[in-house]
């Protein structure tokens, strides 16, 4: 059962008269957190900006379909994850076209909005090599320190599968670091 | 030397991803503007959409007229009607010539039959 203020917010979002104002408040409140979740997946600011905007547009379009079974934050996070994965899939096909054209591929070092040292850069490069699901699980566990139970609810995956994903991700990242020794 | 990362460490980690200054305020405005544009009906498109049924009706009517004209031309009675029209046209033309002749001879159009056998 969602808390009282959550119910009031859902009610405001369903009411045509208050919907726009309530949604603007929702955007303001969840943008920082969602931006960082998206940024950890897509890595570049420009891409995270596109995905974040598309996430909220999709949320607006799907407001009538939101039944209130889950919390708004969970619902928004799922949309953000789906949008991020869709973006990565599109980007992968575009990148292969860029390779053919001989255009330079962006790197995290050249991103003005990346402020990491050599270790953090290498960690991000290692994370970028992970399969999508492992990348999401690793980010949530390592950076967000999210409990497996909460992650299970968020991603709709069993705790056991999440633990396995995280350990596989850690192993691959360690291998990446060893290979670049 | 490979940098060591302790994956079991639970302390908060430094976030290397920087949020551009003023980005969040800007993105909220941007998202709400996009939503506002989405919610407004496109006036130009609405005008075009309004004309579509009228254009369709006009096109159907035009096709019907053309079809009907071709269908009547193929009907058996059509040639009879056409022949009758030609006859009327020819007759009208002949009457016009007769009128011209009567005018030329300054007659009233009646033919005077002279009866030479009459005593008058």
HEC string of A47-67? HHHHHHHHHHHHHHHCHHHCC
DSSP letter (8 states) at residue A2: -
What phi and psi, each to the nearest 5 degrees, are found at residue B82?
A: -65, -45
Choice between B49 and A20, residue whose per-residue pLDDT is larger: A20
Give the closest of A35, A36, A142 to B7, CB-based: A142
- Residues in chain A closer than 8 A to B19 (CB atoms): 32, 35-36, 113
pLDDT tens across A104-155, in order? 556 788 888 888 888 889 999 999 899 988 999 999 899 888 899 989 988 8
Residue B3 and residue A122: Cα distance in Å, rounded? 9
The interface pTM score, or ipTM, of the predicted complex is 0.80
Substitution target in B16, B28, B34, B38 with the highest count of A β-carbons within 10 Å is: B16
CB contact under 8 A, A123 and B5: yes
Close Cβ partners of B72 (under 8 Å, ≥ 6 residues apart): B78
State how far the alpha carbon of B84 is from the alpha carbons of A157, B38, B75, B97, in Å: 89, 66, 15, 20
Residue B110 and residue A71: Cα distance in Å, rounded? 109
pLDDT tens across A30-62, in order? 999 999 999 999 989 999 999 999 999 999 999
Evaluate whether A134 touches A146 at the Cβ level (below 8 Å): no
Considering Cα of A21, then A25, then A28, then A33, what sign does the dihedral take?
Answer: negative
DSSP letter (8 states) at residue A140: I
CB contact under 8 A, A32 and B19: yes
Evaluate whether A34 touches A52 at the Cβ level (below 8 Å): yes
Give the closest of B5, B30, B32 to A119, CB-based: B5
Evaluate whether A87 touches A51 at the Cβ level (below 8 Å): yes
DSSP letter (8 states) at residue A143: I
DSSP letter (8 states) at residue B17: B
The SS3 of residue A121 is helix
CB contact under 8 A, B31 and A57: yes
Q: Between A and B, how many CB-CB pairs are < 8 A?
A: 82
pTM: 0.66
Give the closest of A53, A118, A121 to B30, CB-based: A53
Residue A179 and residue A181: Cα distance in Å, rounded? 6
Query: Does residue A13 surpass a pLDDT of 80?
Result: yes
Residue A78 and residue A75: Cα distance in Å, rounded? 5
DSSP letter (8 states) at residue A142: I
pLDDT level of residue B11 (50, 70, 90 thresholds): very low
pLDDT of residue A164: 96
R_g (Cα) of chain B, nearest Å:
46
pLDDT level of residue A161 (50, 70, 90 thresholds): very high
CB contact under 8 A, A35 and B38: no
Please report where in the chains the tokens 């979002």 appear, as a residue: A13
């Amino acid at each position: 059962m969602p808390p009282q203020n959550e119910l009031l917010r859902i009610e405001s979002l369903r009411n045509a008269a208050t919907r726009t104002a309530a949604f603007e408040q929702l955007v303001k409140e969840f943008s920082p957190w969602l931006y960082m979740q998206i940024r950890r997946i897509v890595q570049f600011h420009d891409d995270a900006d596109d995905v974040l905007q598309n996430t909220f547009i999709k949320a607006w379009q799907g407001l009538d379909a939101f039944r209130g079974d889950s919390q708004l934050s969970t619902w928004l996070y799922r949309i953000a994850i789906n949008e991020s994965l869709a973006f990565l899939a599109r980007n992968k096909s575009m990148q292969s076209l860029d390779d053919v054209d001989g255009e330079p591929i962006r790197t995290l070092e050249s991103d003005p909005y990346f402020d990491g040292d050599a270790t953090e850069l290498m960690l991000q490069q290692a994370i970028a090599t992970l399969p999508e699901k492992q990348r999401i699980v690793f980010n949530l566990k390592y950076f967000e320190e999210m409990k497996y139970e909460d992650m299970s609810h968020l991603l709709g995956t069993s705790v056991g599968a999440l633990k396995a994903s995280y350990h596989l991700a850690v192993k691959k990242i360690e291998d990446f670091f060893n290979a670049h020794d | 030397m490979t940098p060591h990362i302790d994956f079991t460490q639970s302390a908060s980690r430094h976030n290397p991803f920087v949020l551009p200054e003023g980005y969040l305020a800007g993105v909220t405005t941007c998202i709400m503007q996009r939503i506002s544009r989405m919610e407004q009906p496109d006036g130009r498109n609405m005008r075009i959409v309004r004309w579509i049924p009228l254009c369709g009706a006009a096109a159907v009517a035009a096709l019907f007229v053309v079809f009907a004209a071709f269908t009547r031309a193929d009907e058996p009675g059509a040639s009879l009607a056409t022949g009758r029209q030609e006859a009327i046209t020819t007759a009208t033309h002949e009457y016009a010539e007769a009128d011209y002749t009567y005018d030329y001879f300054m007659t009233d159009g009646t033919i005077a039959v002279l009866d030479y056998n009459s005593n008058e």
